[in-house]
Amino acid sequence: MDLSESARAVFAVLAAAGTATRPQLAAGAGLSKPTVSAAVAELEAVGLAAHSGTASGATGRSAAVYRLGPASGAVLAVDLGPAETRVHGCALDGTPLAQGTGSRTEAADTVRKALGALPANAPLRAVVVAVGDVTVRDPQGTGERPATAKAGPVFDAMTVALPPGVPVHLENNVNCAALAELHEGAARGRGTFGYLRIGVGIGLGIVVGGQVLRGANGAAGEVARLPFPWDESREPRHEALEEHIGVRSLLRRTADAWQDADGPCPDTAERLFALADEGHATAGAVVGRHAVDIGRLAAAVAAVLDPGLIVLGGAVGSNPQLQSGVRAELARLSWPCEVVSSALGDSGTVVGATRLAVARGIQTVTGAVEVRH
């Protein structure tokens, strides 16, 4: 969009604030009041800003209040989870506009329904899709896509539902969740930490100095690739650590440990943890052993990163029953590192993706060179 530099700066400040007066916009953008007045007029002329009433100051004088205009548009965040697809749509000031949930196979329909709920006059500025994979540049130059077959087919089916020409940005789902914990969850106020997700798979989001660390190949935190087992009599297998710590192996170990006298064997992690919470001895032992395994992975993370804080997330990892066991094993093997459970649970990924989508949407309007998170 062809906007003056001052109009772009004022738009970014207005989007971050939601509503603001001209003096507030001037202070936020570092511009003079006459320059801000001209920039606001420019934004109003193209529908990117609108008058939103007046506010009275301490001196009794009133000032015009502005908000984003209808032409500023909307963004969409999509979490292509292993079992469920979550979609959030919002304005560029973060105001929620639409949301939807469906199974993984219903991703395209879930996206279509959310798009249909957006205001008809709000152009879609950007889409951020969180995938459980590393992303790579498509060799044909058509944009980014998942690096392996983990999310590729579902991603391809979902993109069919999107309007043509809208920028689509991919981000690793664990990185999105880490970003959400940084700004809205258990890691607020902590510029450096690790977000360790344990669920169907495993993953690590690394935040250093308030920024998500992605690595040279975009694969920083892919702890599933750590060598395992590490034993002189056995060869490490591809992603064997994820296989060992993921929920499927947890349930297999539960079945192996279960006795006839224990009653019906739990077939979900939720049921296993519920039984452990009720004092069931075998369930408690299995959960305790799983906490030790996670604690050893946390010790590897602490040895390499020394993050000071590890947030446990994911469908399994966020369960508070794991905390004490993880803390104990980590303390036995490594130096002090705080361990807490996720404050956002399963919603963290789409929350983080929404933050990224808003930043990308603002970038689309202002033509900013870079969006850093």
pLDDT at 121: 86
Give CA angle at 111 (109, 113), nearest 5°: 70
What per-residue confidence (pLDDT) applies to 372? 41
Look at residue 373 in the predicted model and tell me its pLDDT. Answer: 43
What pLDDT, on a 0 to 100 scale, did the predictor assign at position 57? 62
| Percent of the chain topping pLDDT 70 | 92
Residue 357's SS3 state is: helix
pLDDT at 104: 85
- Higher pLDDT: 150 or 197? It is 197
- Hey, what CATH topology would domain 73-175+349-366 get? Nucleotidyltransferase; domain 5 (3.30.420)
For the ranges 149-153, 231-235, 312-316, the lowest mean pLDDT is seen at 149-153
Confidence of residue 81 (pLDDT cuts 50, 70, 90): confident
Contact status, residue 80 vs residue 28, Cβ threshold 8 Å: no
The architecture in CATH of the region 187-343 reads 2-Layer Sandwich (3.30)
* Across 7-29, average pLDDT: 94
Region 175-185: mean pLDDT is 96
pLDDT band at 148 (very low <50, low <70, confident <90, very high): low
Q: How far apart are the first and last CA of the chain?
A: 23
73-175+349-366 and 5-71 share a CATH fold: no
**Distances from the Cα of 373 to the Cαs of 17, 124, 195, 355, in angstroms?**
18, 21, 15, 9
More confident residue, 84 or 150: 84
- pLDDT by residue (tens digit) across 50-63? 998 887 765 667 88
Task: Tell me the average pLDDT across 273-277.
Answer: 97
pLDDT band at 306 (very low <50, low <70, confident <90, very high): very high
Q: In angstroms, how far apart are the furthest CA atoms of the chain?
A: 81
Position 231 scores a pLDDT of 84
CA dihedral sign, ordered 121, 125, 131, 135: positive
Contact 93, 171 (CB under 8 A): no
Q: Which of 224, 181, 184, 227 is nearest to 206 (CA)?
A: 181
Kindly tell me if the per-residue pLDDT of 68 is higher than 90. yes
pLDDT category, 217, cuts 50, 70, 90? confident
CATH class of 5-71: mainly alpha
Residue 124: in which H helix or E strand, if any? Answer: strand 124-131
- Residue 124, pLDDT above cutoff 50: yes
| pTM of the predicted protein model | 0.89
DSSP, residue by residue, 180-227? HHHHHSTTTT-SSEEEEEESSSEEEEEEETTEE---TTS-TT-GGGS-
Domain boundaries, the chain: 5-71, 73-175+349-366, 187-343
Q: Which residue has the tokens 């993706």?
A: 353
State the Cα–Cα distance between residues 348 and 351, nearest whole angstrom: 5
Q: Distance (Å, rounded) from C-alpha 116 to C-alpha 129? A: 18
Q: Is the pLDDT of residue 138 over 70?
A: no
| pLDDT recorded at residue 266 | 97
Mean pLDDT over each residue of the chain, to the nearest integer? 90
